Structure 1
Amino acid sequence: MTDIRYTKDHEYIRIDDGAVATVGISDHAQSALGDVVFVELPEIGRVLKAGEEAAVVESVKAASEIFAPASGKVVAINTALEENPAIVNEDPFGNGWFFKIELADAGELAQLLDEAAYTDYIRDLA
């Protein structure tokens, strides 16, 4: 199974290849937002600190900041979201990812929620 970690702000981070990880929003987050109509992505090469605002997602209901789940350098962005932001709603864990970062410290991931803890967290929100 893929190692996915979550923040309490509903971002996910998935380790793809060694020190590179993919960041997006959880299925719970996209569902709560409703129809996504705009995504602002970080610039490639930007260095992010864990918890720093990295991107913005806007829906018909609200705008929300996307925070970096871990520190690292942005090495790729999902330009498909600029043309079709609804991909976030259709496939948040697949084609709806936001950006990829080269992790500065993989140890930061231990502070994030695993799948079971995140499931419990969102259940408690209801």
Structure 2
Amino acid sequence: MTPILARNLRATFIQQMDKDYAVACRSRGLPESYIFSRHVFWNSLLPTVNLLGVVVAFLIGGTVVVENVFNIPGLGNLLIRGVLTHDQFVVQAVSLLLAVGVVISNFAVDILTAILDPRVTL
């Protein structure tokens, strides 16, 4: 998933470098490093952080498939065994743990977004 995040970050950098505020900073004679570090970098982080939250949720869900395919003992393998043996309590417990992981990762992304962008309120 790293190439997806890197490509998104690069595309956002390129997009932000062409915005009006970057052009205005260049017209004032500010160096590119200053424009990038003070303006472009922080504005480019927001979409990438939100994409990171989606990727983390995807990876948590993907553990079920990976653990089953490679026979790795873990929550995903336990979930599959619980489904196959009709053990409802195990399925509910593992599903709850995976859902809590997704909710916590989304909450962390929301907090990080609120820290990076003061316009966002929780």
The TM tier, using the shorter chain, reads under 0.3
Asked which structure has the greater CA Rg, the reply is 2
Higher helix share: 2
Which one scores higher on RCO, CA 8 angstroms, separation ≥ 6?
1
TM-score by length of 2: 0.20
Structure in which a larger fraction of residues adopt strand: 1
TM-score using structure 1 length: 0.20
